[in-house]
Structures are given as C-alpha cells and as structure tokens.
Structure 1
C-alpha cells in the first residue's frame, strides 16, 4: 500500500494561520451582522411605533369631525413608500393600499383591542406594519413602514464584513507563510550544512545565531559535525598509516615470492600448487595496498587534477591495448564529442579498472563506446556479457570493499569501482551501472567536455 505523502511543515503552518483567520473572520462577521441587524431593526421598530402612536393621537383628536378627520388623514406624515388606513370610518392615505394589505394576524390583534406590529412582504418589498387601537372610538389605525432602506443597509454591512474577513484571511495567510519561512530558515541552514557534510565538505559549520534557542541548535550541530569530522579523519589516517606500514613488508614478501616462483620447477607438485595460491594472494594483497594508498591520497586531498583536452577514441584504444584488449571495439556515436577535458592518468585508471572488473566478474568487456551526455558532457561506456548487476546493488558496488553477488567468490580487491567513482567525481563527472540490452552490465562514466569555470 502506497504511503500517503504529508504536506510540508511550512504549508501546514500557512494553512493553519489561514484556516484560523477564516474561522475567526466568519464568526466575527456572523456575530457583527446579527448585532447590527437586531440594532437596526429595533431602531426602525421603535421609530415606527413612535410615529404610529403620534399619528393615532392626531386622529383621535380630530375624530368627532368627519371633515377634519379626512383632512388629518391626508396630512399625516406617512413615509413616501408607506401607507396608512383607518377601520372606522374606512379611510386610507394611498389609493389601492388599504386595510386588505395588512396581515390578517395584525388586524385581528388590533381589532381585539391591542396595539401590535408585524413584518410582512407586499409585492416583493418588505414592510413593518404597526396597528394602534383607539379605544375611545372603538376604531384602529394601521400604518406600513417600508424596510427596503434597512435591508439595503444590512446588505452593505454584510458585504463589508465579508470583504473584511476575506482580506483578513489573506493577510493572516501571508503572515503565516512569512512566519513559517522565517522560523524554518534555521532548519534549512541545518539541512544545507548536513548536505554539504554528506557530499564531502567536512568543514561545513553553522554560524552562531542571536536567538538563544537557535544558538543552542547551531552549537549542538557544530559539535556533532566536529565529532564526525574527527572520527572520519582518524579512520582515514589509520587506513593511510596501515597502508604505508604494510607497503614495505608487502614489497619484501612480493620479491621473495617472485624468487620462489622463478624456481618453481625445482619444487614438488604439491608445493607448486601451494606456491600458486601464495603468489596470487600476495599479488592481490599488494594491489589492495596500492589501492588503499591511492584512496588515502584522494581523501587527504593530496591529489591534483591535471586537466587537458584529449582525444577520447585514441586514449580509449591505447588503454585497451595496455590491458590486453587489442580486439575490443571502440564505437563512437555521431553526436558524441571526440574531445573532452579530463586528467589522462585518472581516465586511464578509470577505464583500466572497468576493463579489469569486466574481465574478473563479467566474462570480459565486449564493447567500449563514446556517447553524447546531457549538459555538455560525454559518456564513456564499458559493456560486458556477464550476469549483470542487481538493481539493489548498483549504488553499493561503488562503495569501498563492496562486492556484488556475482563477485563474492572471485578475485579482486573490492576497491576498483570505488576508485572509478572517486576519480570521476574529481574531474566533475559521475559513474553508475545499468542493464545492457541483451544481458550483462553497462558501466557508464560521465565526463565534462569543457573545463569547469
């Protein structure tokens, strides 16, 4: 089952700020809108009730005189889009807008002797209806107040609140993004320094920080890096010292064994067989010491890159001849560069080790090829027809003393491919292995065509 990838920490922090701001903004918007709505409607209701009772008092004063009552009804200060009506006598301030336009519940309540108010819609417009019972003359006064302006005001308030919540959310999200970047910057510095150390820059360290917590992190990391560097350097010195100390006795032992081998005809057959084992192991031991000394010089930075533009096909042929592969074809792709900037000695060491590796573990090399690489590089390829390299071992075999499954019981020092990788990296290239079409291994080394700037 595939593992679900989680969001980056900076993304989670930014989203948290944005979500919290959005929830807070929406909550405040709803709360503010409800408070503003209740306040505006209450103010509107209070004003409408006051005006209705004032108008009802004027009607009560003019009620005994029908003519004056009609004049008072016409002169009532009713709002432009509002209207009013009287039950007895049946009078109204606006033609076509009488008692029938008021809700039945409101009319029933006022007729029963109570004053009341109720919201209702008329022709799609909102109104507030107020009814006042005039007990002295057993009549009722009704007045309708338009709420369109109040609704428009509430819509403007809601729009402003929503825009404010959106802007606040955007600002909070931006603040969360900038804060996460600022807070995670020390972790990025730690990751960069760790990456430098992993790539070989053992002297990479973190600068002290002004913040006490970050300064503690930088100090702990630097102490760890110092310990790692000390241990690696100590192990490198140990390998170098051991290799140097073994060089003299191995040289003497090799000379002695060569003398015995030169007189092998004077020895019994069983002794000759034992001598063959000793000779092969001493030579293997001598090769291992030489390889260890070379790796020790590379680790100590004691080797320099003497780069120059060389003719690759010619150099490949000369190295192949030197390693006894005179019949090995060197194929050149039509798009591959024939010239490249590299160190001749390192190139000879790389190709020689690959040819020896193919001979020892792949049944011998069957092809050398020069192919175009990416971004101004050229690829040197050595193919064999052996069992190939398992996908799980393709990186590990370039480590020191690492062996693939096909080489565990065969000859070799276990350092040849490690030297190939080290020399390739020294000239700005890389080395890897892949499957060969048709079976076998395909070792590829990438070189820059031009000198690094």
Structure 2
C-alpha cells in the first residue's frame, strides 16, 4: 500500500520546532517561578502569622482578664492535627491548610503556661494573592511572547534555509535538463556557510564527473562514426561497381544501411554536444508541413485546423517530420494522419502503438521495440527527432490512442480544450513548437507549463 505523505516546508518545520521548544521552556520556567513565588509568599505569611500569635500570647499573659486578642482563640477545636501534635510537645508552629475554594488558610499556634493552646488563622488573600495573580498573568504574557518570538525566528531561519534549498533544487533541475554550465554553489549564494553548501559542492562535483564521462563517451562515439565514414563510403562505391544481381542488391542495401547508421550516429553525437544552433526563418506552419509531407510521403493525409506563423529552423523541422513519418509508416498501421493546429503538429498512425518502455522513459538509442511493433531499424529516429526538437526549443511527446472499445483519451491542445482521439488505437507523436524562438546564443524562452491528465501513464504520454 502507498503510504500517505504529508508535505511541509522546512521553514514551517523549523518554526514549529522552535515554537514547541520555546513553549516547553517557557512553561517549565513559569511553573518553577510560580511555585517559588508561592512558597516564598507562604513563608512570609507564616512568619507574619507567627508574630501575630506571639503578640496575642504576650497580651493574653499580661492581661488580667486573659481575653484573647487579634482574633485568636483558646483551645480551638478546628486546630489541625499537625499543630495539635506540636502543642502536645510544647512547641509552637505554623501550618498551611488547603481550602476547597482555592485560598489556603495560614494557622499559627503556641502553648500557654496553663496547658491551653492559643491559636489564630486567616486566609492567604489580599495583597499576597493579588501579587501572585499578577505574577501568573505576567508569566503567561511572557510565555506567549517567547513562543511568538521563537516562531518568528524560526520562520526567518527556516525561510533562509528553504530559500537556499529551493535555489539549489532549481539549479539542479537546470543541470538535469542539460544545462551543465549552471553551478549549484553559485546559484544558492549567501555569506553563511552550512550543510547546504556541502550539498551544492557535492552536486557540482557529481555534475562535472557525469559531464566528463558523457562527453568522453560522446567523443568516442563521434570519433568511431567519423572514422567509419570513409570505409563505408568506399564500400558503397565498390558495391555500385558490382554486376547486377540479387547478391549485389543485398550488398548495396546493407552498405547503404550502414552509411545511414553512421550518419545518424554522427547526428546524435552533435545533438548531445549541445552545440547545435537553429537557423531561424518565419514560416506558415500549416503550408510548410503540407508541402513537406506531400514530398516525403504523398499517401499521408494532412489536415490544417488552424494556420499559424512561427519562427523556426525549416531544415530541422523537416528532419523531425521525416523521422516521425518514417517511424509511423514502418512500425505503425495505415492510415497515417498529420494534423496542424496553431503551433502544434500531430503525427498519428493506427498501428499497435508505442511500447511501454518508450512511453515511460522516452526515446532511447538502439531500442526499436520490435517485440511490440514489428519492423527493423536502429532505434535512432525518435532519438534524433527529440534532439532536434530540443534545438528548436520545442517539446516532443508520445502517447497511445485508446484501443477499440476503450474510452478515448483527451488530446489536449493549448488553443482549445482539446479534441478526442479517434476510436481506433495507434501511436500519436505531438510536436509543440515554442511561442518564442531560440535566442542567438542557443538559449530558449520558457515553454508554458501545459497541464494534462498525466504526462505518462499506462496507455502513453499525454501531450
């Protein structure tokens, strides 16, 4: 079962932690201060009560009538048992008796020479109780202030840390998108050094290591393909000199396939180097796609729903269309349909659809998915199409249409709420050309983040 995860920011976690610690400390200190103040006030009240009973004793012994004064009593039956025990031992003392209404009663008693007991008692009220109440109120206000101040401090500290982590995540995302010039350590900035800087340096080191390895592999691939061009060209030339016949055709066919493979590998290596730049021209997209598709494959139907003028590289766009059409014709089923709607170009066949691995991971080199879609090839067509789309600043997505008898998947478009895929199954490749053309240095304007039901699901990738 998938565990339910509650997502919270570092800022609020630190704020809550500081506030909780501050609340516990303030509560503990308040209890300590309250108890210490109460004990001190009760001790003072007992001393005052003892002085009063001592004065009442002196007055009683000096008076001829022996009448008790200061509200004292002789042999009070309500005298607490603890004081009764002290009186039997001929010792004076005080006692604090808890009361039901919350205010304690302060007792004081002394034994008289004739064996009687003189005692008096009064409630702990008045100024002492008022002072204790004011102290409790001040402690509550102070505790709340400490919690609020701790929360504000936690927000500030957590906000700084959260901001640095967000910058690091954004920089790491740029690196993941292929911008290896971005340095995470420079992106987070700041003068304070903490664990975030250690993480940023580790990410930068990992990026450099991966970039070096990928670049080394790309150079090896490009060098091998470049060195193969000359012998393959010679092999193809020699094959043309062979006498006509089936064996000669097979040799020429395999030599041509090898030459195509070498050229495709070189193109993939150039695209991986991120040094390719688009040569922009303003074109009418619908008219351009109609002419190019008719020249590439006259049997493919083109529908222009909405014409749009775009700035793009016609040569690279034609390369993308060629690879998508070749893939649809070779691995898909007829009819193959091309639809142009604004800046969106869709190529759809009616075959078994893209394999699950391609929908899940994207195009991969030398993976044709022949077990799912019968045919032959090197698996570089969609890889090159995706690479050329990146050079144009475009986005190329893949998904499968709903099979017969299943609910159709929405085919979202940026201009309308999206059409509905046809009733038959098949593979759908969608090219989203950017609203803004690439800049002269090869960077691209941000593409709008278009939401759909899902980017990848078990049926395919939503455009």
Query: Structure 1-normalised TM-score?
Result: 0.76
Separation in structure 2 between the aligned mates of residue 122 and residue 174 of structure 1, nearest angstrom: 42
SS of the residue aligned with 2:336?
strand
Partner residue of 1:80? none
Query: Structure 2-normalised TM-score?
Result: 0.74
Partner residue of 2:297? 324
Give the Å deviation of 1:155.
3.4
Separation in structure 2 between the aligned mates of residue 445 and residue 34 of structure 1, nearest angstrom: 75
Structure 1 residues 354 and 210, CA gap change in structure 2 (3 angstroms): same
Structure 1 residues 391 and 30, CA gap change in structure 2 (3 angstroms): farther
SS of the residue aligned with 2:55?
helix
Structure whose residues are more often helix by fraction: 1
Aligned residues: 411
SS of the residue aligned with 1:359?
helix
Partner residue of 2:216? 234
Structure 1 residues 20 and 213, CA gap change in structure 2 (3 angstroms): closer
Partner residue of 2:236? 254
Q: 1:360 aligns with which of 327, 330, 337?
A: 330
| Structure 2 counterparts to residues 66-105 of structure 1, below 5 A | 69=67, 73=69, 76=70, 84-87=71-74
Partner residue of 1:165? 143
The reply on whether 1:35 has 2:36 as its aligned counterpart is yes
| Structure 2 counterparts to residues 364-383 of structure 1, below 5 A | 364=334, 366-371=336-341, 378-383=343-348
Give the Å deviation of 1:153.
2.9
Structure 1 residues 23 and 391, CA gap change in structure 2 (3 angstroms): farther
Asked if the contact 1:10–1:180 (Cα under 8 Å) also holds between the matched residues in 2, the reply is yes
The reply on whether 1:197 has 2:175 as its aligned counterpart is yes
Separation in structure 2 between the aligned mates of residue 5 and residue 251 of structure 1, nearest angstrom: 59
Partner residue of 2:2? 2
Separation in structure 2 between the aligned mates of residue 331 and residue 320 of structure 1, nearest angstrom: 12
Q: 1:338 aligns with which of 292, 303, 308?
A: 308
SS of the residue aligned with 2:290?
helix
Give the Å deviation of 1:13.
5.0
The reply on whether 1:445 has 2:431 as its aligned counterpart is yes
Partner residue of 2:55? 54
Q: 1:91-137: CA deviations, max 9, x gaps?
A: xxxxxxxx79x567589669867654342548775532434444448
Partner residue of 1:304? 277
Partner residue of 1:416? 381
SS of the residue aligned with 1:144?
strand
Give the Å deviation of 1:182.
5.3
Asked if the contact 1:397–1:404 (Cα under 8 Å) also holds between the matched residues in 2, the reply is no
Asked if the contact 1:130–1:144 (Cα under 8 Å) also holds between the matched residues in 2, the reply is no
Give the Å deviation of 1:362.
0.8
The reply on whether 1:426 has 2:411 as its aligned counterpart is no
Structure 1 residues 408 and 288, CA gap change in structure 2 (3 angstroms): farther
Structure 1 residues 359 and 196, CA gap change in structure 2 (3 angstroms): same
Structure 1 residues 114 and 403, CA gap change in structure 2 (3 angstroms): same
Give the Å deviation of 1:171.
3.6
Taking only aligned residues, the RMSD between alpha carbons, in angstroms, comes to: 3.8
Give the Å deviation of 1:354.
0.5
Give the Å deviation of 1:406.
4.4
Separation in structure 2 between the aligned mates of residue 337 and residue 42 of structure 1, nearest angstrom: 94
Structure 1 residues 11 and 141, CA gap change in structure 2 (3 angstroms): closer
SS of the residue aligned with 2:399?
strand
Structure 1 residues 14 and 143, CA gap change in structure 2 (3 angstroms): closer
Separation in structure 1 between the aligned mates of residue 24 and residue 102 of structure 2, nearest angstrom: 34
Asked if the contact 1:316–1:330 (Cα under 8 Å) also holds between the matched residues in 2, the reply is no
Which moves more between the two structures, 229-238 or 116-125?
Answer: 116-125
Asked if the contact 2:56–2:72 (Cα under 8 Å) also holds between the matched residues in 1, the reply is no
Partner residue of 1:92? none
Separation in structure 1 between the aligned mates of residue 61 and residue 341 of structure 2, nearest angstrom: 110
Q: 1:243 aligns with which of 225, 233, 236?
A: 225
Larger radius of gyration: 1
Structure 1 residues 394 and 123, CA gap change in structure 2 (3 angstroms): closer
SS of the residue aligned with 1:201?
coil
